[in-house]
Amino acid sequence: MSEKTASAAALSRPMRLLCIGLLVLLGFSLGCSEFVVIGIEVNIADAFSVTLAQAGELISMFAITYAACTPVLAIVTGRFRRFQLLVTYAAIFCAANLVQALAPTFAVLLLSRVLIGAVSGAFLAVGVTFIPELMGPERMSMGISVVYAAFSVAMVVATSAGKMVAELFTWRVATWASLALAVVTCAALVAVLPREGATDEPATMREQAGLLAEPQVLTGILIFVFGVGCVYVFYGYVTPYLEQVLGLSAMEASAALMGYGVVCFFSNLLSGWLDARFGMRALVVTFPLLAALLFGLWALGAAMPAALAVVMGIALLMYVASVPCISAFMETARRSHPKALTLASSLEPMSFNIGIAFGTAVGGAVVSGPGIASVGLVGGVFALVALALVLVTLRLIRVRRARQGA
């Protein structure tokens, strides 16, 4: 084992656990910064005198920037050391959160969202590359699933808590809380994480970009686009859905979102467990179930409590695709493109946020057209498209393994 590779392995067990805990906190902080606006978008729209659809751009523009910048940064920064990148991303992330908290106009607020989105995916991708060294390859799936579980819990905690804070105080208090968490998390990461590691070897653009030419990687990205998009057609407008369609009060909607977050935590753990046992084959069952739930949401309409139970079912399946796809990306990188591990780990946040932008944009069109009650119908169709892409990806993986065996 090289000196660089040994640096993380040489840490004591308590220090390794602390590092892993901070990476989990990083996932939570990134999730809070990304999703805090979902719970307060109505308040933001009122504060800046914009429409709800315009407020929704705070979500979609973040996601578009996140998706575009994440792989680009992974490729162009291949010659830099991992820890240097982590410090740089941490500084930009905190500064952008400060701009978000202070934004005097909607345009400045939108700019802050673009800045946060530009570095969040790369920040998370660099953080994830520490996990195999800290936990070992055999436990990598569970480690990644816990980090993403924290991210998804933050998604709903930030949404529900942000809404509650906005009702009790103002929406800006929620953004200041997100800033405080970002500063504490980043300072701790910079102080504790190893300075050297296995991914510090320089990599050219060509050595990394070859990963994107793998057919199973391209179809895996599309699985995220439609698999995440199918949920975000609904979830991008979950707060008005709960209030306008299901008739919940503001506080009841906040409580429902907290429950959604708890279920999402188990969704990520379920994703790691299924990946360890079945790999991507688990998604052959996941997406038909998700399609059925989304169609059921549309069919039930305002029927309570059945509709709310279906919403929680969607939460349970929301992140199941994440770890199997990440593992497939990283397996392809390890086997054929060993210097593209950071790029491989960046593909999940990139693809996830393309799915968010896609789903939120389609959801906005549905809200403006047929109405918010129809989001489940469109989401169910997208889930079936994701299923078809899973079947194609599994076929490509089998062909690739057969060729390697031959």
Query: Residue 138 — pLDDT band, cuts 50, 70, 90?
Result: low
307 or 403, higher pLDDT: 307
Q: Report which DSSP code applies to 245.
A: I
**pLDDT tens for each residue of 106-135:** 999 999 999 998 898 888 888 877 877 777
Q: What does the domain layout of the chain look like in residue ranges? A: 3-405
Please provide the average confidence, as pLDDT, over all residues in the chain: 82
Q: H/E element holding 196? A: none
Q: 241 to each of 207, 249, 355, 364, how far by Cα in Å?
A: 46, 11, 20, 12
Name the nearest CA neighbour of 40 among 267, 257, 193: 257
CB atoms near residue 137 (< 10 Å)? 11
Phi, psi of 201 (to 5 degrees): -65, 130
> 311 and 297 in contact (C-beta within 8 Å)?
yes
Question: What is the C-alpha separation between 287 and 325, in angstroms, rounded?
Answer: 14
DSSP strands (E only) in 226-265? none
Asked whether residue 16 carries a pLDDT value surpassing 80, the answer given is no
Name the nearest CA neighbour of 120 among 199, 33, 200: 33
Does the pTM exceed 0.75?
no
Superfamily holding 3-405: MFS general substrate transporter like domains (1.20.1250.20)
Q: Give 309's contacts (C-beta < 8 A, 6+ positions apart).
A: none
Residues constituting the chain? 406
Question: What is the C-alpha separation between 300 and 294, in angstroms, rounded?
Answer: 10
The pLDDT of residue 157? 77
Cβ density class 87-118: b for 16+ within 10 Å, e for less: ebbbebbbbbbbbbbebeebeebbbbbbbbbb
Question: What is the C-alpha separation between 25 and 189, in angstroms, rounded?
Answer: 9
Residue with tokens 């968010």: 356
Question: What is the C-alpha separation between 19 and 36, in angstroms, rounded?
Answer: 25
8 or 89, higher pLDDT: 89
Asked whether residue 152 carries a pLDDT value surpassing 80, the answer given is no
